[in-house]
Structure 1
């Protein structure tokens, strides 16, 4: 029976073999097509992810470069306008043939250029003729040059600030130009121009396979990490653009030829993939490289754009590795399929269950490893950020302390003449009385000599008090807040301006509520604030017929109010709005830096207090320091 059954089954198997062979070929064709499709999708997906990552990294770097460029240019934006504050500059534009004025303005511009660390500063008349320049000593001096053809000069002469990047026509040195009109009584007399070299920014840009470019509104590249691309264009220039650049001589003698882009492929997410011929190898030996282009438009200067080219070699290598890996994985599963198919049905179920269990276990380990890696990376990043922030906070604290110390040194410098007078008089008296003591001893007049020596001792003690007070004022302060006697701090500060009060015939009065008042602050820095306020008050009363300086110390709830009033002209609304801005001053040029009130206001804020200014009803100006009452004061109440 078995043999008969087998003979019946075998033919049926042979009869079904032909139809199954056709279906099997179609199935294997579909499997092969799916295999190739998966490999292509893995390659495409991996490459697109790598391109997106390159774009994000390029955009982050461009943000840093844009910020660096804009900060570098903003430092000089105000400089041309400040030149009209110099009276010699105004007089030079009115009488340009005065050799003494030309020499004085040249030296002033040379000093300003050195302090600002710019390339050049020069003054031109309404015809664009340069009459004074900071580089007047050099053989490539700008004096006598006509800059009227430059767009920045034309903009400034029209009454708008001139901004322009170009190559210098005198010494072929590129730079960014800031120009502003010089006015007197609303009438334009000429223009001031500051030239700044921004070429040093290239040194901080990415080196290696990635490339960075900065192009102007016409697509001309003037800063780049690739020297061969400097003064090349992103695309051929239109004839009218070329004529305009020739007229303005923006790039002078440089040939503005386009970069040889071999291809430019745009992707769906806004990315661009370009292929460029490597200029390092000549002729047929030159290599080509593909890059992802990331562009970022600048707000100022307008229409400039940063371009970052990220090399695609690594991205394509990653995509190829992913495609190979997918081939290996698919091949592995294909071989596994053949292996499982050759097994019997019972064994196939067992192996499939084991494989699924192993896959779940491997996937779990992978997820745990990936999550652990992400957490470690995040922890490391947070640790680095905390360290950077702590270091920045420490540097800021050190810088503030040095700024406060510099402010005290500036005050001591302004009072140097008075201090010198205070010490010269006792020194002269010491010398005279010492000579007299020798004569008296020779003559045997011991009592008179003894009186002389006692007077000398008193004078020496007086000089010691002066130098001791200066030493206390000049020493660096601590940052801890303590209970400070306000009358004592006022007396110490008053000691440093006492000579000015006597010489300038200023009446001083101090009113303190109660015997003593204590506030939470730091004594040395509070004295620095008081000395600044006293010195400013004395300066404001320089031309006043009545000179009076008054200090009132009162208590208001849990606050101590220290009011410093003078009989000067008071504060205008415009001055009060900018009173505590750094480098703002109403004093003549060279007399003050404009930092005293800014430093004083910051010191008061560090005490947890307030420094404000107003005009009292009786005239003059009044500055009020509001501080917290110290615990020691509360115990005395």
Structure 2
């Protein structure tokens, strides 16, 4: 008959339960710390993506109005009147080359209604666009169909990639052709790479066309079906076949963050990364890849610290238990001595042995207390190290870089409350005109520049009629014009002792007039006739492209109005925006009114 297996001692069971509890606590600490790290990674990635997106938008915005402004230039208009006139072609080529150098764009060129390049800024180079037909390009077809086009591609003639912005040129209701500006975004990619970010831009077809890693360009983020890939290659958008190997292989999500394996050239594994996506215009998506190794190392460190903390806590509890046992043993021994003082020597000897054993337990308790004290010190140091290494291990950078990133994040949070109106002010408008209350437009414009008015101690003198005055305009675009005139007036008074900014709203017959006057240095008579020309400016280099007044003039002309200027050198200038008055009482019931 087999003997039953003896039960494990109680202290062994307690020890095993304690080890299991410690392991479970360590794993729970790891999971919670990893979730917190991914949540923080998501917030930081969203902040970084917002900053990168704003930088991208600002880069493109510098050139967004250039094709429309280009279509108003006299040399371009003369070329379209007689495309076969050699002198007109030469003048247009020289104008585009000069304008391209001033704007620092990649190339400027104009196409006729079939897509044939009539003139270009690179007319004198071997890679000249002149004489080539670009009617197959999406930016040409979109501009002919909708008035504007946007397209990123590798140049069919130069072989250089760029972002193309196009604008339809019309006269008397007839389409003459398309004006195009090509923007070089390689400097933006270099900035991404130098900042140490893994950033990419994906087009509407799922193909990466901008990236901080050169080996990611013209590859899909995720696998693309073979038939669709063949269609994209047939379009020759990138001047080469698209590498079918995907950049990212998803493995799962955690805390709303997509985790996967990133791959370099030849499908070389780069490691696990968290992918954050921010939608952009035209179906594009901005991608940011964050290395998850830092988050896992941080979580492991937190788990180890938690285990040590739990062990220290258990040691403290054990020490307290041992001390209580010692006290209890002493009390029991004292009672035994009182009861058996007259008993036999053997009993006295046994009592003395019990006291000796109790003394041994007391010594053990003191030793355990010392061990617990010695563990607490490195534990505190370890916890402190966790707090600091959380920053250092993020990308193995120095403290200054991490502090700079934290500072950037805190500035962005403090400014979030200020951009509500700026977002509305900067949104893309359709150009639809309607009856607009003019006084609120002026109020919004002054509010946008109030910080400059206060900082530069400018006195604002306003005048407006008692009754509301409406004009035929677009409220956002009209506000853009007023902001530009106010900003110019403030700049003009920068070095003047007397700084008075006058803003007047009035009505003259069937026109509404907004006057913006300053007490600045005034405008030289020889400069008056060039004020509204593109890229004309009297400011220092780096303070503006000279497009503000040209764009404002074009906007007001769209409203059926005009901008007038009156200036006296040494006394100041006055700009008048004249637009048609709208009688709200007589307006169409279907016409939208903006207040």
Same-fold status (TM-score > 0.5): yes
Deviations 1:431-467 (A, max 9, x none): xxxxxxxxxxxxxxxxxxxxxxxxxxxxxxxxxxxxx
Q: Larger relative contact order (C-alpha < 8 A, sep ≥ 6)?
A: 2
Alpha-carbon distance change, 85 to 612 in structure 1, aligned in 2, over 3 angstroms? closer
* 1:111 paired to 2:78: no
* 1:330 paired to 2:323: no
* 1:528 paired to 2:515: no
* 1:320 paired to 2:306: no
Deviations 1:150-204 (A, max 9, x none): 1111111113301101111111100011111111101001111111111110122
Matched position secondary structure for 1:322: helix
Matched position secondary structure for 2:282: coil
Aligned mate of 2:271, from 275, 279, 289: 289
How far apart are 1:270 and its partner, in Å? 1.3
Matched position secondary structure for 2:76: helix
What RMSD, in angstroms, separates the aligned Cα atoms of the two structures?
4.9
Partner of 1:48: 35
Distance 1:116 1:483 in 2: 32
Aligned mate of 2:261, from 275, 292, 301: 275
Distance 2:69 2:42 in 1: 42
Alpha-carbon distance change, 583 to 479 in structure 1, aligned in 2, over 3 angstroms? same
Partner of 1:173: 160
Partner of 1:583: 550
Distance 1:381 1:56 in 2: 15
Deviations 1:577-609 (A, max 9, x none): xxx96335879xxxxxx9995999xx97xxxxx
Contact 1:581 1:598 in 2 (8 A): no
Partner of 1:161: 148
Matched position secondary structure for 2:26: helix
Alpha-carbon distance change, 536 to 229 in structure 1, aligned in 2, over 3 angstroms? closer
Distance 1:260 1:381 in 2: 32
Partner of 1:308: 288
Distance 2:109 2:494 in 1: 45
Partner of 1:226: 213
Over alpha carbons, which structure has the higher Rg?
1
Alpha-carbon distance change, 264 to 56 in structure 1, aligned in 2, over 3 angstroms? same
Alpha-carbon distance change, 233 to 83 in structure 1, aligned in 2, over 3 angstroms? same
Distance 2:195 2:91 in 1: 49
Distance 2:85 2:496 in 1: 58
How far apart are 1:305 and its partner, in Å? 1.4
Divergent runs of 4+, >6 A: 348-351, 534-540
Matched position secondary structure for 1:223: strand
Alpha-carbon distance change, 536 to 331 in structure 1, aligned in 2, over 3 angstroms? closer
Aligned mate of 1:257, from 230, 244, 257: 244
Alpha-carbon distance change, 243 to 145 in structure 1, aligned in 2, over 3 angstroms? farther
Aligned mate of 1:481, from 481, 497, 503: 497
Contact 1:215 1:304 in 2 (8 A): yes
Partner of 2:112: 125
Deviations 1:63-100 (A, max 9, x none): 11111111111121111122332344234334322222
Alpha-carbon distance change, 527 to 156 in structure 1, aligned in 2, over 3 angstroms? closer
Matched position secondary structure for 1:148: coil
TM-score (norm: length of structure 1): 0.54
How far apart are 1:328 and its partner, in Å? 1.9
Distance 2:297 2:152 in 1: 40
Higher helix share: 1
Distance 1:233 1:208 in 2: 23
Figure out how many residues of one structure are paired with residues of the other and give that number.
Answer: 403
Contact 2:563 2:577 in 1 (8 A): no
Contact 1:133 1:142 in 2 (8 A): yes
Deviations 1:394-423 (A, max 9, x none): xx89xx9xxxxxxxxxxxxxxxxxxxxxxx
* 1:248 paired to 2:215: no
* 1:140 paired to 2:127: yes
